Structure 1
């Protein structure tokens, strides 16, 4: 089996965000890091928030972790009370060595997954994630490259064939990989349009900051309009200093 990709699943733990069966199925081949976080209001002291909410938050996180009992995933969980959820997500992803972050949306099944790729920087990571999640031969993967109007479609086809080879090398059944090139003036809109026919979508991070990808305009458009989970594959980070306070308490 391909090495398990480490995937961060951030949840606003006290807001009742669910883990649908399809999400558990999607992550069955992964090392899953469940991040339950609660953003502390400015007027509330961290100690007060912990005293008031920690037991309820921990019980909720334990219930979510228990949903993986019958899956093949390796699951870890952490609970954080924080002033800044975005910073906490980035910090935990970095500290845990996560190669991707999952944006939760409902998913009943995981039969067909769309992988939208444009640049070279995360091809190896996308292949590693796909190989770890889809090497059991039960999920079909469609590789999508959306070329802008002034770009050449044959170049997109050659690029996707390279990506396809990477996925095959990572353990994905070649019979279950399709390649698709589209042309659009606004690629993100085309990705959203195409994604409607799939159970989940995997996107390569287009900006060095995961917060921009998770909460910025492009991924926000996809996550809000797509009915299934969105897996954002992170770009490699340069070594960073560890002590970058985000106001969180664990």
Structure 2
């Protein structure tokens, strides 16, 4: 009997990266403008979640609010599907938002998680890269989402300790070559190397000029910045949507 394909194998076959989109649907959070266009080539896991008090059972909350939550999710899923995305919906009542998001990332082998902010269009993407770990996952996401779209990609790198600007240029040129081999036109890819004592602040300033941002979870400072702050503060620093590329799932 032939084994069923894994999510990674399925993604390789379809070219569609899996992206988790978490929304607090029962708190009025909706699918921001531009999200459907951004994820038109993705396999979207649309997570509607609601944080409930410790003393409330998930089953009880689902009986009370499940129908309303699913109606909202179905509405957003239809918008994503109309743009071209493959969509799966999940509605979860939880006592721990972060644990639920982490669990769904692994259950669906998501390549990235979207911090959903609105964007009027998606014509330029800022890809912040730190180090070599996880770069293949970054390139898979960028190619999967944007290879067939009219989107300009800027690869950004702030050299670390012991790394020269020439090292940074060489690093980004290698990533660019990989993107070109995977189908993105070379004239749509720019590279930017800057030295910065506080890279995350410079990333925030640079990102303001782009429609969307791609960041790797391999840099702990980036992960802390994006998920360790209230969504309002993230929106103030990154005006558009942020795709956070996840680490590969550990071998079990």
Normalised by the length of structure 1, the TM-score is: 0.88
Conserved in 2, the CA contact under 8 Å of 1:100 and 1:234?
yes
Corresponding residue SS for 2:218: coil
Corresponding residue SS for 2:137: helix
Matches of 1:163 and 1:77, distance apart in 2: 33
Superposed CA deviations along residues 58-108 of structure 1, whole A, max 9, x for unmatched, are 111111111123211111111111111111111111010111100011111
Corresponding residue SS for 1:58: helix
Match of 2:143 in 1: 131
Match of 1:69 in 2: 81
Where does 1:149-188 land on structure 2 (aligned, <5 Å)?
151-188=163-200
Count of residues in correspondence between the two structures:
239
Matches of 2:158 and 2:232, distance apart in 1: 18
Matches of 1:162 and 1:221, distance apart in 2: 34
Conserved in 2, the CA contact under 8 Å of 1:148 and 1:185?
no
Within the candidate set 74, 88, 92, 1:80 is matched to 92
Conserved in 1, the CA contact under 8 Å of 2:48 and 2:90?
yes
Of structures 1 and 2, the one scoring higher in RCO (CA 8 A, sep 6+) is 1
Where does 1:5-84 land on structure 2 (aligned, <5 Å)?
5-84=17-96
Conserved in 2, the CA contact under 8 Å of 1:116 and 1:143?
yes
Normalised by the length of structure 2, the TM-score is: 0.87
Conserved in 1, the CA contact under 8 Å of 2:113 and 2:245?
yes
Bigger helix share = 2
Gaps of 5+ in 2: 1-12
Conserved in 2, the CA contact under 8 Å of 1:87 and 1:211?
no
The alignment yields a C-alpha RMSD, in angstroms, of 2.4
Matches of 1:2 and 1:213, distance apart in 2: 32
Matches of 2:149 and 2:80, distance apart in 1: 20
Superposed CA deviations along residues 9-66 of structure 1, whole A, max 9, x for unmatched, are 1111112222234211110011010011111112323232112211111111111111
Q: Decide whether aligned partners of structure 1 residues 7 and 126 sit closer, same or farther in structure 2, where only a CA change above 3 A counts.
A: same
Within the candidate set 96, 102, 108, 1:96 is matched to 108
Within the candidate set 136, 143, 157, 2:155 is matched to 143
Match of 2:6 in 1: none
Conserved in 2, the CA contact under 8 Å of 1:6 and 1:97?
yes
Matches of 1:11 and 1:5, distance apart in 2: 19
Conserved in 2, the CA contact under 8 Å of 1:86 and 1:211?
no
**164-173 vs 93-102, which moves further:** 164-173
Shift of 1:207: 5.4
Match of 1:244 in 2: none
Superposed CA deviations along residues 200-229 of structure 1, whole A, max 9, x for unmatched, are 000011358x97575236x99755411000
Q: Decide whether aligned partners of structure 1 residues 120 and 92 sit closer, same or farther in structure 2, where only a CA change above 3 A counts.
A: same
Corresponding residue SS for 1:143: strand
